[in-house]
């Protein structure tokens, strides 16, 4: 459907997944995805052009639907002739007709069965079933529970996301009914990922309990590294800080982590699988290593009886 060698997407990580990372992933045989995040359309146009100058392979754009610029980015991807659009953190129904008319393949993240059914009805090309092991904005369900239920709710290809960082995770996702995977945290360690070195180092040093979810009280739960900021926010959240003050704490926190490496005020988004990200590598090597590990696992189907 997409003309990619391996059924692997690189997740659209706000302020991190730029044209350079996306191009490197697409050149490596996966689908590179530029994250629009909270940026205006002009940023997205620029990144699409950077990616297209670096690769002839398809590249996607992820639209974060809570962004104040979501509407202008939705129009820009049509003008820039983007091949694939993924969406996150909301319901893209309002844009589906225009994207489809422009022949864009629309692949929304769904966090529930109801959303999977709605997106199927509205003409999505595939669905990303993202469980709460992921970094960033999280739904209620885990990957283990969400993927098979989305598989049963649609005839579309299902791409599993959340908690996958190696070949075993890919194989497990396929066993649950997925036909593709999306990885975010693992690509933070790609050479071509231009995030600050201290962000990468924090991922490389992460251990199993290094992430936590904050923001539930205001209805936007987000998984991030357990930094001083995350712990302070959590204390404020459960300590009765008024909503407007709490919102103020979170404003710009993502950008401060990525662009300034600010440990006091920055929110370092990361998935639970961060502990399994061990070294920096070229994006193409990450993809090949993972898929080479998954292949024999999937070929050697379990036999219970001799
Ligand atoms: O979107 C993500 N991950 C993200 S977005 C982000 S930026 C942000 N900044 C501040 C607050 C919140 C986010 C950082 N990480 N992943 C995809 C994803 N989408 N996970 C869950 C969902 C989702 C949730 C509800 C998709 C649809 C949905 O539908 C609700 C509805 O409106 O019906």
pLDDT at 144: 98
pLDDT score, position 298: 92
Q: Find the 138 Cα to ligand 1 centroid distance in Å.
A: 6
User: What pLDDT was estimated at residue 306?
Assistant: 65
Cα dist. 98→71, 104, 219, 257, 272 in Å?
Answer: 12, 9, 29, 35, 36
State the CB neighbour count (10 A cutoff) for residue 9. 28
Q: Given this model, what pLDDT does residue 264 score?
A: 87
Q: Are 71 and 42 in contact (CB under 8 A)?
A: no
The dihedral through the CA atoms of 39, 40, 43, 44 has a sign that is positive
Residues of the chain with pLDDT under 50: none
- Ligand 1: residue whose CA is nearest its atom 29: 90
Instruction: Give the CA count within 13 Å in the CB-facing half-sphere of 251.
Output: 6
Determine whether the shortest distance from the Cβ of 139 to ligand 1 is under 6 A.
yes
What crossing angle do the helices spanning 283-299 and 167-175 adopt, rounded to 10°?
50
pTM above 0.85, yes or no: yes
Is 109's C-beta closer than 6 angstroms to any atom of ligand 1?
yes
Residue nearest to atom 7 of ligand 1 (CA): 37
Site of tokens 């071509």: 192
Q: Which atom of ligand 1 lies nearest, measured to the CA of 37? A: 7
In angstroms, the CA 16 to CA 10 distance is: 11
End-to-end CA distance of the chain: 39
pLDDT value at residue 233? 95
Full 3-state SS string of 63-120: EECCCCCHHHHHHHHHHCCCCEEEEECCCCHHHHHHHHHCCCEEEEEECCHHHHHHHH
User: Would you state the pLDDT for residue 17?
Assistant: 98
pLDDT digits (tens, 9 = 90+) for 169-206: 999 999 999 999 999 999 999 999 999 999 999 999 99
Atom 3 of ligand 1, nearest CA residue: 137
Q: Whose CA is nearest to atom 17 of ligand 1?
A: 88
- Strands of the 211-214 sheet, one edge to the other: 136-137, 222-225, 211-214
d(CA 48, CA 243): 37
- In this prediction, residue 251 carries a pLDDT of 86
pLDDT value at position 98?
Answer: 98
Q: Look at residue 275 and give its three-state secondary structure.
A: helix
CA 86 / ligand 1 centre spacing (Å): 12
């Amino acid at each position: 459907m997409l003309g990619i060698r391996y059924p692997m997407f690189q997740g659209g990580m706000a302020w991190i997944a730029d044209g350079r990372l996306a191009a490197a992933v697409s050149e490596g045989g996966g689908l590179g995805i530029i994250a629009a995040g909270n940026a205006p359309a002009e940023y997205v146009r620029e990144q699409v052009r950077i990616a297209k100058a670096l690769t002839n392979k398809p590249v996607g754009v992820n639209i974060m639907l809570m962004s104040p610029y979501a509407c202008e980015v939705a129009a820009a991807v049509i003008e820039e002739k983007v091949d694939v659009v993924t969406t996150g953190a909301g319901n893209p129904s309002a844009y589906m007709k225009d994207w489809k008319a422009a022949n864009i393949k629309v692949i929304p993240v769904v966090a529930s069965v109801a959303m999977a059914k709605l997106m199927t009805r509205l003409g999505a090309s595939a669905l990303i079933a993202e469980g709460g092991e992921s970094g960033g904005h999280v739904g209620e369900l885990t990957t283990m529970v969400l993927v098979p239920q989305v598989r049963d709710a649609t005839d579309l290809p299902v791409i599993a996301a959340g908690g996958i960082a190696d070949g075993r995770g890919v194989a497990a996702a396929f066993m649950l009914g997925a036909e593709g995977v999306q990885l975010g945290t693992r690509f933070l360690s790609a050479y071509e990922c231009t995030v600050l070195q201290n962000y990468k180092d924090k991922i490389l040093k992460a251990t199993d309990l290094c992430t936590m979810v904050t923001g539930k009280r205001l209805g936007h739960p987000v998984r991030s590294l357990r930094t001083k900021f995350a712990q302070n926010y959590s204390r404020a959240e459960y300590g009765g800080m008024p909503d407007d003050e709490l919102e103020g704490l979170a404003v710009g926190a993502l950008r401060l982590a990525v662009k300034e490496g600010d440990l006091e005020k920055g929110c370092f988004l990361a998935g639970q699988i961060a502990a399994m990200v061990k070294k920096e590598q070229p994006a193409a090597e990450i993809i090949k290593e993972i898929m080479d590990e998954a292949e024999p696992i999937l070929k050697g189907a379990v036999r219970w009886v001799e």
